Structure 1
Amino acid sequence: MRERTDSNPALFVSNRGQRISVRNVQDILSRLNDRCGFRKGTVHPHVLRHSFLYQTAKKVPLTTLTQLAGHDDPKTTMIYTTPNLQEVGAKLDDLYLEDE
């Protein structure tokens, strides 16, 4: 954003300097998904949102994450703070395999 010369508040803009539509973002990500050979829907706006919030949840307070997500209720945001099975397994390994 520091390098941009326009004053458009939109993050993603077209060559004509206009905010791109939600559908346009979906199409771009769908093409990227196909080019990379991923399973259909792997690269999708909702997946990217979920990944961003999940990773950010490790570094910011729940109240901040709730604001970033645009949620009214922190309980809704808490789904992004739930560790996955790999993380649970790694924590257990750290806890019980330290002594070996």
Structure 2
Amino acid sequence: MDHIPDADWPAVGEASHAVVREAKAAGVWIFGGGLLRQQATIVGTDGTPTPGPFPETKAVVGGFSILEVATRDEALAWAARIAVGCRCAQEVREIMFDPES
């Protein structure tokens, strides 16, 4: 999010939170938040943690939002609203529902 001037951060934060409030009011918000680090830790099947993978591109994941909507078009519409609020492009993925979760 290097493209956002420091002076704009309060406005970006408010705009982003406004979209979250709208999603909550619409009943589609499940969960979301920012990510503290870009580096992940992999925990192997033996329980041993190892550093990585390491991001290889300039594009980073700064956070995520999980919404429950009826259609992909609705998901894209919410992603567009989030993108405007946070001034960042959004990646949209479908999460497979597990009825036991």
User: Do they fold alike, i.e. is TM over 0.5?
Assistant: no
- TM-score (ref. length: structure 1): 0.23
- TM-score (ref. length: structure 2): 0.23
Task: Kindly indicate whether structure 1 or structure 2 has the higher relative contact order, using CA contacts under 8 Å at least 6 residues apart.
Answer: 2
Higher alpha-carbon Rg: 1
